[in-house]
Structure 1
Amino acid sequence: MSERADCALRAAEAGGAVALGSFREGIAVETKGDKTDVVTQADRDAQETVVAAIREEYPEDAIVGEEDEELRDVPESGPSWIIDPIDGTNNFVRGIQMWTTSVAATVDGEIVAGASVCPALDDTYLLDDGAAYRNGEAISVSDEADPEAFTVVPTVWWPFERREEYTAACRGIVERFGDMRRFGSAQLALALCAAGAVEGVVTNVEANPWDSVVGAGLVEAAGGTVTDIHGESWRHDSRGLVASNGEAHDLVLEAAREAEAEAER
């Protein structure tokens, strides 16, 4: 394992263990804006633990994080870390097991290693040296080529004033593909795409880097395709995120563009 992958994994495991200690323990919940944009002390404690683990090895590197006083934008040059202590906090506070602690290592804005740990599911996803793993075993995207057998995920939440876009995204999926899921955690949805459990993940929303970078890296390393809403190569600051197993990416992209067309009205 590379040094940065090892650090990402250890930091994510440490933060995930802290979060798991408060899971289903009746922890107090606060809102950051919208009523569904929630945060808990577990988020803050887990992020503090992740940061401390990174700082032990890389004290000078920039850190981008969802909570507290960390940077909000990924530096375009030099090494940095992107962390989400609990991706899927709405699941976390409801006692639903689908949440992750995710840590990405980047250099010049590009991911080089990362880990998404799912403590309540007992799964760990790792990106290292261009390969993707779950629980130590190499993973790859689904080889399903028939769109009528695809399962596709709408992800990254649309606020109330943008629910028409959410509706359009769902319509775009159900009119083209066999089934649809929503997991409430973008990092987990992308990891599951990398592991072949679903064939596509779509949003026209500009995803925060802490919600997306590890997962997008996993999909690409597992042989899938990740683009922005325009079909161009995806970056941490792209508008939209469209991930697929690559077998019918244009069709998955069409579903995402249903939401974008609604946004442009």
Structure 2
Amino acid sequence: MSPEPGHALRGGARRGLPPTSDPEREQRSAWLALAILAVVLVVAVIVLQLGLGQRTSASPSPTPAVTATPTTSSATPTTTPSTSPSPAPTGSPTSTGSPPAASPSPTPPGVLDLGDAVVTVPDGWEVYADELVQDARRLVRLRDPATDVRVQIVTLTTVTGELDQACRDLVADQRSAFTGVATSLVVDVPVGAGATAVSCAFTGTRVSDGVPNKTEFTLLRRDSDAQTLVFRDTIPSATGDGAPVLATLTGMECAAAESFGVVVQAC
């Protein structure tokens, strides 16, 4: 039997027409393609970053020039300013600074400059008076504490007339501070050329402390300017004639007289 004409026409028609399109299926395919593309892009970016990271970590970091260059004493300091204070400079034996100007030499300890004479204080002695008198002349008084032997020394421009009379005037001026006074004659003191000298003395008990003493004056005058160096010795009567303190006293006065320009022959 031959097929029905109607069936043959329907079957042939189906096979000749294209398949019917499905919009939802096409949309899902498009989104899937986009998603796959996005995943591929993300994977590519990750792979690229990993590759760059490995290359960066594999390359050694640059070493600072300070550590790569051997350290020397003339290394360039860092340019970053420091807020900490600089250390104070210390002295260096190779310093090129100019030395300080030399100051005048001070008077050595134990030396008294009277202007026209110099007195050297013996060891153990003390200066118990230092003052200015006539015409701003410096007068000093020294004492040996162990024996109470004392001396007063001054240079004067006001001693006029004969030295004998000047010596007696000094005795008269001082004896009021003593009782039981006995005076001695004025005697010449042998000195070198260009000067004259005399000495006089008295004994008595000092009113202030009741101690018997001998007070002796020695006056030395320079002929060149008529200036006079005056010593006044006060020696307790208990001091023996050969006591070492008397030799010390004599040596001090001889040195002062020599600095005054007068040579005492007994020295």
Question: So what's the TM-score if we normalise by structure 2?
Answer: 0.25
**Higher relative contact order structure (alpha carbons within 8 Å, sequence separation ≥ 6):** 1
Q: Highest Rg: 1 or 2?
A: 2
